[in-house]
Amino acid sequence: MLKVYKVSLKGYASDLDIGASKAKQILWFLTNVLFFKNPFIVISSLKGYLLKAFGAKVGKGLVMKPSVNIKYPWKLELGDYCWIGEKVWIDNLAPVIIGNNVCISQGAMLLCGNHDFTKSTFDLLVKPITLEDGVWIGAKSMVCPGVLCATHSILTVQSVATRNLSAYTIYQGNPALAVKKRIVVY
């Protein structure tokens, strides 16, 4: 038998440390809408500069396509030669660390927050996400809070990573399961 939980948002409060002043948050919101979520802005170097101006750590060779949504750049670290596809959503309520040579394909989502459905206060739960070097997150896939995608792992199209992904392994499905080893030729 399913256990039923009563959910009440009355008195809901979050202890989330946003890490920026209200003014900085508002300025980022406007910048995000004008330069990142905007489908007409295609200049990756400008986006890298703006991310750095708001506190992100950004390596060299960033390629960031149009219509990308980033919650808090001051909680974002991008290594060298990262590729971020169209309509990627980095919902980084907690730190997101992305290594070198990482590809996050179109429509993928990195989700750092969730709610505790077992409590009537529906408490917000946040955990960081790490994508190590050489990781590939497939189109319309989701990486859930607290997940570590180890070096050169792959999350295939429309898959959901609810647990850590092992190095040099390809994952598929919802929840994502290991389907084969990845062989990288140098």
pLDDT at 79 over 60: yes
pLDDT (0 to 100) of residue 59: 98
- The residue type at 124: L
pLDDT (0 to 100) of residue 3: 59
Q: Could you tell me whether strands 177-181 and 169-172 are parallel, antiparallel, or unpaired per DSSP bridges?
A: antiparallel
| Number of structural domains in the chain | 1
pLDDT band at 1 (very low <50, low <70, confident <90, very high): low
Instruction: Confirm whether 11 is domain-assigned.
Output: no
pLDDT at 109 over 50: yes
pLDDT at 116 over 90: no
pLDDT (0 to 100) of residue 8: 47
Instruction: Confirm whether 8 is domain-assigned.
Output: no
Instruction: Confirm whether 17 is domain-assigned.
Output: no
Instruction: Confirm whether 50 is domain-assigned.
Output: yes
The percent of residues in the chain predicted with pLDDT above 70, rounded, is 92
Model confidence pLDDT, tens digit, residues 130-180? 999 999 999 999 999 999 999 999 999 999 999 999 999 999 999 999 999
Tell me the pTM.
Answer: 0.91
Dist. CA 92–CA 70, nearest whole Å: 7
Instruction: Confirm whether 12 is domain-assigned.
Output: no
pLDDT (0 to 100) of residue 138: 98
pLDDT at 14 over 80: no
Instruction: Confirm whether 66 is domain-assigned.
Output: yes
Domain extent for 167: 22-181
Segment 52-60 shows an average pLDDT of 98
pLDDT at 5 over 80: no
pLDDT (0 to 100) of residue 122: 85
Segment 105-122 shows an average pLDDT of 92
pLDDT at 20 over 80: yes
Instruction: Confirm whether 13 is domain-assigned.
Output: no
Q: Between these two residues, 139 and 3, which has the higher pLDDT value?
A: 139
Q: What is the CATH number of the domain that holds 60?
A: 2.160.10.10
Contacts of 79 (CB under 8 A, 6+ apart): 59, 98, 99, 100, 101, 102, 133
Dist. CA 82–CA 102, nearest whole Å: 5
Instruction: Confirm whether 69 is domain-assigned.
Output: yes
